[in-house]
Amino acid sequence: MVRAEIINQVSQHLGVTKRRASIAVNTVFSSITNALARGDKVELRGFGSFTVRVRKERLGRNPKTAEVVDVPEKRVPFFKAGKDLKVVG
């Protein structure tokens, strides 16, 4: 499912225009993104939680040249499914 399909479903379910549904969906996504950028945890009860994890720096290899390169430490988003979502799978 892509963002446009989510917007269509929100629009139909709430009986609002796609423009209003788009604003709502984009606001939710940007709120989650901004919270993660600040290092906060986002918890959606029953659905799951989003956190930021730190990947340590490591040595990697350029697949084209086989040259060893340093891969710096980085922060990556992580999602852990909630109980209700785990039942679906």
Percentage of the chain lying above the pLDDT 90 cut: 90
How far is it, in rounded angstroms, from Cα 79 to Cα 35?
14
Neighbours of 28 (CB within 10 A): 13
**51 DSSP β-pair partners:** 78
- Please count the structural domains in the chain: 1
> Could you list the residue range(s) of the whole structural domain that residue 44 is in?
3-88
Residues contacting residue 23 through CB under 8 Å, at least 6 positions apart: none
Q: For residues 54 and 76, give the distance between their C-alpha atoms in angstroms, rounded to a whole number.
A: 6
CATH number, position 65: 4.10.520.10
pLDDT tens-digit map of 11-46: 999 999 999 999 999 999 999 999 999 999 999 998
Q: What is the pLDDT of residues 41-79, one digit of tens each?
A: 999 998 999 999 999 999 999 999 999 999 999 999 999
Structure tokens at 11: 């629009």
Looking up tokens 């852990």 gives: 80
